[in-house]
Amino acid sequence: MTGVPPPGGQTQGAPPGRPVSIFLTVACAFAGLADLQGFAFAFSRRNREAFAATPYVNGVVAGIALLQIACLVLLWRGRRAGLFGFLGLAVIHVAVLLPAVGAWSLCALLPSVLVGAAGLWNWERLR
């Protein structure tokens, strides 16, 4: 077997590379920016005043935002655990916000729907 190696330099039996999907990349970038915004807003004066009756909300939202960013990195690197972690944390995020904000907290699920769709689209590529 003396031939030219296939494009990309991989030979037979070599593990596949990271899933390169534009949809997955854009979804992770959008959700990552939303999480960075949520983290920054958790410490704003307006949020501290709005959640004065429930002071735990700001700290929980900031913690969830950081964990979701870590899950997005795992997902972008091709791990199914990152998808499950991100979606699970999104449900917890909405559950924490629901008593304080009401039905508007469901708007926080928009990035999760996008990431979930990208994860399902690339399901076979994820490990």
DSSP 69-112: HHHHHHHHTT-HHHHHHHHHHHHHHHHHHHHHHGGGGGGGGHHH
Instruction: Give per-residue pLDDT as tens, 10-57.
Output: 555 545 565 568 999 999 999 999 999 999 999 999 998 988 888 899
Instruction: Give per-residue pLDDT as tens, 53-82.
Output: 888 999 999 999 999 999 999 999 999 999
Distance CA 90, CA 103 (A): 15
